[in-house]
Structure 1
Amino acid sequence: MKSRSLSVLAMIAIVSLAACGNAGDNKSADAGDHAGHNHAKEAPAPATQTAPAVAQIKDDMLDAVYRQYASLTTALVESDMAKAKIAANAIEAGAKELKGADAVGTAATRIAAAKDIEAQRVAYSDLSNNLISLVKKAGMHGGELYVDFCPMAMNDKGGYWISGIKEIRNPYFGDKMMKCGEVKETLQ
């Protein structure tokens, strides 16, 4: 089992390294009509969001999947479909090795196959909800992760996501409403 986990971790690392040179300019930022909302357009976000090194989930395989999820979140914040697809493929591979993570793998498959950024974001909502449950069940080995919420995501039904930073960087709207949302829970 240990060698199988190491093999999957190695596969995730290879997919991640392959992502470095394959990010195309396949961007879309259509988030619907939110003209009446009072959210000023924010400056472009920094290139990446990664969880602090001290934040670690107790289950090593789940922690590896979370690292790819952080890359996926960054890709959606940047409205970068190509990077989102690469991260989703890595999540799908890792989810196959996680007990009770079938829904995470299914959502990751939908993200990788999506034809537009909005479809990726809808599947991301499902992935996030399932990943939040898995992380809560596994617990944290150290550090903190944040469960964030945007009330306007998913056609005003709201959407959750996990972040390694307290600052809100909204993956559901990207630079259109970068700071829309709030931290709902801290996982320690």
Structure 2
Amino acid sequence: MKKVRLTTTIMMMTFLSLTAMSCKDTKKENAHDSTTHSEMNHDKMDKSNDMMDSNTQNSSAQKVLADYMALKDALVETDKDKAAKAGNKLNNTLSEFDISNYTAEQQKELKDIITDAKEHAEHIGKSEMDHQREHFKTLSKDIMDMVAITGTENTLYQQFCPMYDGGSAWLSMNKDIKNPYYGSKMLKCGKVQKEIN
């Protein structure tokens, strides 16, 4: 059931991304991400093996991203209980993250990122809304660092709110701004910093 929901979400987001791109020219800032992705797969014999290896690597990362997006949406809705549940789920997903298909250097970086991200997800799971949002800021940085290593199957939008805590970023699968740091108080506060493919 989870796989069906995740697949449906991915398909919907892909459709929305393609629709948005066809309506408007977009600026791509993904040279580093695609270089990293092709370097991870450079030793494979053929394209089908590359895709299988890439899919193996991305499945753990996609689960983390799906849980992160659920947490972000709960914060947008200013729903403390829903955010706590999403934080706990993300903590569990991070615990199960399979780093075995990455290089030794990437594994070391991912271990550090996951350790830090788990700590923040755990705090979100047992905190009040204001504290949840404080931890979400650092958690978002961890997830961005993870995506820089793992790549992404979906187009992601790195968004930025200049008002929250001296400026705070987050990831979204949608170009439209829905601010997780302020919710309905300042829902549209922010801008897209970059597109990640």
TM-score normalised by length of structure 1: 0.68
Say whether residues 1:171 and 2:184 are aligned partners: no
Q: From 139, 158, 170, give the equivalent of 1:147.
A: 158
Counterpart in 2 of 1:137? Answer: 149
Amino acid at match of 2:191: E
Counterpart in 1 of 2:68? Answer: 69
Contact kept, 8 Å, 1:78 with 1:174, in 2: the verdict is: yes
Contact kept, 8 Å, 2:62 with 2:152, in 1: the verdict is: no
For residues 1-188 of structure 1, what are the structure 2 equivalents within 5 Å? 13=2, 52-54=12-14, 59-98=58-97, 99-100=110-111, 101-114=114-127, 116-141=128-153, 143-154=154-165, 157-188=166-197
Helix, strand or coil at the partner of 1:113: coil
Contact kept, 8 Å, 1:128 with 1:161, in 2: the verdict is: yes
Between the two proteins, the alignment pairs up a number of residues equal to 138
State the structure with more CA Rg: 2
Amino acid at match of 2:85: I
Q: For the residues of structure 1 that align with 2:81 and 2:191, how far apart are their CA atoms?
A: 27
Counterpart in 1 of 2:29? Answer: none
Superposition deviation, residue 113 in structure 1: 1.3
Structure 1 stretches lacking a partner, 5+ long: 1-9, 17-49
Structure 2 stretches lacking a partner, 5+ long: 18-54, 98-109
Contact kept, 8 Å, 2:13 with 2:173, in 1: the verdict is: no
Q: For the residues of structure 1 that align with 2:125 and 2:172, how far apart are their CA atoms?
A: 21
**Segments of 4+ in structure 1 off by > 3 A?**
50-53
Superposition deviation, residue 185 in structure 1: 1.1
Counterpart in 1 of 2:48? Answer: none
Contact kept, 8 Å, 1:65 with 1:95, in 2: the verdict is: yes
Structure with the larger helix share: 2
TM-score normalised by length of structure 2: 0.65
| Partner deviation per Cα, 1:8-66 (whole Å, 9 max, x = no partner) | xx9xx5xx9xxxxxxxxxxxxxxxxxxxxxxxxxxxxxxxxx664438x9621111111
Q: For the residues of structure 1 that align with 2:13 and 2:193, how far apart are their CA atoms?
A: 22
Counterpart in 1 of 2:33? Answer: none
Q: For the residues of structure 1 that align with 2:118 and 2:194, how far apart are their CA atoms?
A: 24
